[in-house]
Amino acid sequence: MIQANTLRSFTEQIFGAIGCSEADARLAADVLVSADLRGVDSHGVARLPGYVRLYDNGRLNPTPAIKIVHETPSTAVVDGDRGLGLVVGPWAMQVAIDKARVAGTGWVAVRNSNHFGIAGYHALLATDHDMIGQAMTHAAPLVAPTFSLDKLLGTNPIAVAIPAATEPPFLADFASTAVAYGKLEILQRKGQPAPLGWAQDADGQPTTDSNAVKNGGALLPLGSDREHGSHKGYGLGAIVDIFSGVLSGANYGPWVPPFATAGFMSANEGVGVGTGHFFGAMRIDAFRPAAEFKNHMDTWIQRFRSAKAVAGKQVLVPGDPERLMEAERLQAGIPVHETVVQQLEHLGERFGLKL
């Protein structure tokens, strides 16, 4: 177990060591460690060596001049100047929030960025301002559209955060695939098979091989197969890709650059600039009085949480599991995987820093 503060401080120092400003390093560390706190271990400090590798590869600018390149009252396009997505994301979200304050809503497409951590972190920033927050990003191609052998989409997550009154915010934050790639990686490490419906093999057939994606196969969209609606998960992933990539001027589809750790993907770039994201903020009182809305959200949340459940189970509201995990890990610390600890220590040695 490692305390969140320890991880945060170490991560901040590493980002400082590659040249990030103090404020940027602190923010980036907060985004990463918030993933660990919420139990999304695949998107937390486990990725820190990857971000450093991005820097080593010359793809990451530690002191980006992030700027708005085009705007209207309710929209903007932001160029991330090859900065950390962990820093570009909150910057762009702030633009969306500022726009929403004046125009009712704000929508920001980002290009020339890198992996931005968990989408939910960014979406949640809006709820402090009595706004609904949205964040989405595309990612390197691991997913085959329905009937495709080619991998053309990333896991392309969407997050929507909605404030309530006495209840904590509703926070849906999910990949548009049946599972996140991290879940297959866990099974790979254990040498275990995957459930049918998570991946297909090189011939596009259902498989339980947890290494299938590495061996010419692909992750499957949410819905898994045509009969269970995989074309819907494909549609959802496609929307995320087009909003993040085509609308912003970033790359898109199979041309989205890999996150540094994914060695088996090609790094073709050719249809746009870097990786893209899309953010939105909607002021609640641009629709109805915020207090009234938030009271109804309490009713909504309480009705769903108190639903009659399958024996031995409980009906959860989106955001519940991550919030419960965060409360637990703030107390007990974060169970960082042994391999990850070794990688972090190794990284620390390089920069003369101790975990």
- DSSP letter string over 66-122? -EEEEEETTEEEEE-TT--HHHHHHHHHHHHHHHHHHHSEEEEEEEEE---S-HHHH
Could you tell me the smallest distance in angstroms from the CB atom of residue 134 to its own copies?
9
The pairing of strands 170-174 and 206-207 is unpaired
Which residue lies nearer to its own copies by CB, 15 or 252? 252
Could you tell me the smallest distance in angstroms from the CB atom of residue 76 to its own copies?
8
Could you tell me the smallest distance in angstroms from the CB atom of residue 151 to its own copies?
9
Could you tell me the smallest distance in angstroms from the CB atom of residue 195 to its own copies?
6
Could you tell me the smallest distance in angstroms from the CB atom of residue 277 to its own copies?
13
Distance CA 28, CA 55 (A): 14
Distance CA 48, CA 203 (A): 34
Which residue lies nearer to its own copies by CB, 10 or 279? 279
Structure token pair of residue 351? 């920069």
Which residue lies nearer to its own copies by CB, 65 or 311? 311
The pairing of strands 75-79 and 105-113 is parallel
Which residue lies nearer to its own copies by CB, 240 or 347? 240
Name 232's Cβ contacts closer than 8 Å, sequence gap at least 6.
Answer: 221, 222, 223
Distance CA 198, CA 273 (A): 31
Structure token pair of residue 182? 């991290």
Could you tell me the smallest distance in angstroms from the CB atom of residue 67 to its own copies?
15
Which residue lies nearer to its own copies by CB, 6 or 188? 188
Which residue lies nearer to its own copies by CB, 17 or 77? 77
Closest to 81 measured CA to CA, from 281, 279, 275 = 275
Closest to 220 measured CA to CA, from 187, 249, 248, 194 = 194
Distance CA 170, CA 53 (A): 35
Distance CA 11, CA 24 (A): 11
Could you tell me the smallest distance in angstroms from the CB atom of residue 56 to its own copies?
31
Q: To which residue do tokens 């989408």 refer?
A: 119
Which residue lies nearer to its own copies by CB, 70 or 346? 70
